[in-house]
């Protein structure tokens, strides 16, 4: 082996020994320590009718999560029920301290917009009148008796 080839051989082995080097260099994953990352923010189902509910689920690393439109603080991986009357875009904000934050949005569609379910008013059934063929039964009809 010639002396001139020894430094070249060391340079080729350097990446294998933990040094900085060629194409094998790896990049830190997005959830590394100190990084605020939102892994996912979803709503299920994505379309509802007014008066029904959907579930928001936030998955994030580091920090404190909060959703707008009155939802408030959310914990990662914990379902939060929402029931808007109109299509709403929710924004998840994950903060660390006062100066670092990331945001992600999700839209819950309410279809048809402004639809209000028609809930019929309860009316009791009419009271039965006395059967002329069975005068021995009491008269259950409202009002004066004959």
Q: What is the pLDDT at residue 97?
A: 84
Maximum C-alpha span of the chain: 130
| DSSP code for 45 | S
Q: What is the mean pLDDT of residues 11-19?
A: 43
Instruction: Report domain extents, the chain.
Output: 32-110
The overall average pLDDT reported for the chain is 75
Q: What percentage of the chain carries pLDDT values higher than 90?
A: 43
- What digits encode the pLDDT tens for the residues 1-14? 444 444 444 444 44
Distance CA 90, CA 74 (A): 12
Q: What are phi and psi of 89, to 5 degrees?
A: -100, 115
Among 14-18, 67-71, 88-92, 98-102, which stretch is predicted with the lowest mean pLDDT? 14-18
- The correct answer on CATH 2.60.40 for the domain covering 32-110 is yes
- What digits encode the pLDDT tens for the residues 98-133? 888 999 999 999 987 665 666 677 777 776 566 667
Q: What are phi and psi of 28, to 5 degrees?
A: -60, 145
């Amino acid at each position: 082996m010639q002396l001139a080839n020894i430094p070249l051989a060391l340079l080729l082995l350097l990446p294998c020994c933990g040094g900085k080097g060629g194409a094998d260099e790896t990049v830190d994953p997005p959830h590394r320590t100190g990084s605020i990352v939102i892994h996912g923010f979803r709503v299920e189902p994505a379309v509802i009718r007014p008066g029904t509910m959907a579930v928001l689920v936030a998955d994030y690393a580091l920090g404190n999560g909060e959703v707008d439109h009155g939802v408030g603080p959310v914990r990662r991986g914990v379902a939060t029920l929402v029931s808007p009357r109109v299509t709403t875009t929710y924004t998840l904000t994950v903060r660390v301290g006062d100066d670092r934050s990331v945001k992600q949005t999700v839209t819950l569609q309410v279809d048809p917009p402004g639809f209000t379910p028609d809930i019929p008013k309860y009316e009791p059934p009419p009271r039965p009148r006395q059967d002329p063929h069975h005068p021995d039964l009491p008269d259950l009809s409202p009002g004066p008796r004959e």
